[in-house]
Amino acid sequence: MTHRILILGGTTEARQLAGKLAVRASVTLSLAGRTESPVAQGVPVRSGGFGGAEGLAAYLKETSTDLLIDATHPYAARISANAAQAARAAGVPILALRRPGWEPIEGDRWTEVDSVTDAVRALGPAPRRVFLALGRQEVAAFEAAPQHHYLIRSVDPVEPRLAVPDADYLLARGPFREADERALLERHSIDVVVSKNSGGAATYGKIAAARALGVEVIMIRRPMLPEVPSAETVEALAAIVNQFGADHFAEPDAERGV
């Protein structure tokens, strides 16, 4: 019997994991549907919210899902909480891919804050040249500090534009190399970077570039996520899933010892 796995995605790792697991299982990847043209995922995709934890629990039952994997971004706290709750309600096992956060090292000038609102405040009253490497949902909060110059990079256009007098917009999708990030910070004379602590290599370039240039980073701390069995890498999680499959979905031939 092929077992059915639902992966909650929206990250590079989710796509990689889906590709690995699809060899042995029937995998569906779920996206929130926010990105206008998401990259090809290579497995069947469903898109859009489920309608809270109850909706997700109902979906798990309707589709006879055997295993739920939360491979969403570390700042997607609501869907992670919903996933843990829905898995419990539907009696479906859950695993999570939890990419470790970055740690400051020698030379880093980090100011850590708890929220986007606190990041806006941490910029201070004097005008600065700010690089916002945040999602387009979060940048609106910076309208509260219109005295700064903003360089805003996003995957999809920021619409409507920010109600501030001085902002440049850049459309780009990672991964971003340190050398390119450094050139970008220099070209725009950036003196502070606002970032999430996303972890992983794809977006670390700006952090390393800021360190090299002595530029401050206002780092928004990670939200609390539910405690569920987890792994830090695609490989480690795939190994757990394969073990899970071997334990729960033995092939009929294997069961007979043929």
Ligand X SMILES: NC(=O)c1ccc[n+]([C@@H]2O[C@H](COP(=O)([O-])OP(=O)(O)OC[C@H]3O[C@@H](n4cnc5c(N)ncnc54)[C@H](OP(=O)(O)O)[C@@H]3O)[C@@H](O)[C@H]2O)c1
Give the residue with the Cβ less far from ligand X, 17 or 149: 17
The verdict on 188 binding ligand X (CB under 6 A) reads no
Binding residues for ligand X restricted to 80-119, rule: CB under 6 A: 82
Buried b (16+ CB within 10 A) or exposed e, 101-136: ebeeeeebebeebeebeebbebbeeeebbbbbbbbb
Decide: is 55 part of the binding site for ligand X (CB under 6 A).
yes
The span from the first CA to the last CA of the chain, in angstroms, equals: 16
- Please, which of residues 146-185 interact with ligand X by CB under 6 A? none
Q: Which is nearer to ligand X, 24 or 222 (CB)?
A: 222
Is residue 223 part of the contact set for ligand X (CB under 6 A)?
A: no
Helix (H) or strand (E) holding 97: strand 94-97
Question: Is 10 among the residues that bind ligand X (CB under 6 A)?
Answer: yes
Contact flag: residue 44 with ligand X (CB under 6 A): no
Q: Does 199 bind ligand X (CB under 6 A)?
A: no
Q: How many CB atoms lie within 10 A of CB 39?
A: 10
Q: Could you give the CA distance from residue 71 to residue 32 in angstroms, rounded to a whole number?
A: 12
Stretch that binds ligand X, among 48-56, 95-103, 113-121, 247-255 (CB under 6 A): 48-56
Output Rg (C-alpha) for the chain, integer angstroms.
21
**Is it true that the peptide bond before 127 is cis, omega within 30 degrees of 0?**
no
| DSSP three-state, residue 197 | coil
Point out which span in 52-60, 169-177, 178-186, 232-240 binds ligand X (CB under 6 A).
Answer: 52-60
Query: With respect to ligand X, which residue has the nearer C-beta, 22 or 77?
Result: 77
As a residue count, the chain comes to 258
Q: Candidates 8-16, 181-189, 204-212, 238-246 — which segment interacts with ligand X by CB under 6 A?
A: 8-16
Distance CA 105, CA 116 (A): 23
Nearer to ligand X, 85 or 111 (CB): 85
What is the closest distance, in whole angstroms, from the C-beta atom of residue 216 to ligand X in the complex? 21
* Residue 11 binds ligand X, judged by CB under 6 A: yes
Sheet holding 230-231, edge to edge: 45-47, 26-31, 4-8, 67-70, 94-97, 230-231
Q: Is 195 in the site for ligand X (CB under 6 A)?
A: no
Cβ distance to ligand X smaller for residue 44 or 107: 44
- The answer to whether residue 75 forms part of the interface with ligand X (CB under 6 A) is yes
43 vs 149 by CB, closer to ligand X: 43
Phi, psi dihedrals of residue 195, rounded to the nearest 5°: -140, 155
Under the rule (CB under 6 A), what is the footprint of ligand X? 8-11, 30-32, 34, 49-52, 55-56, 72-73, 75-79, 82, 135, 196
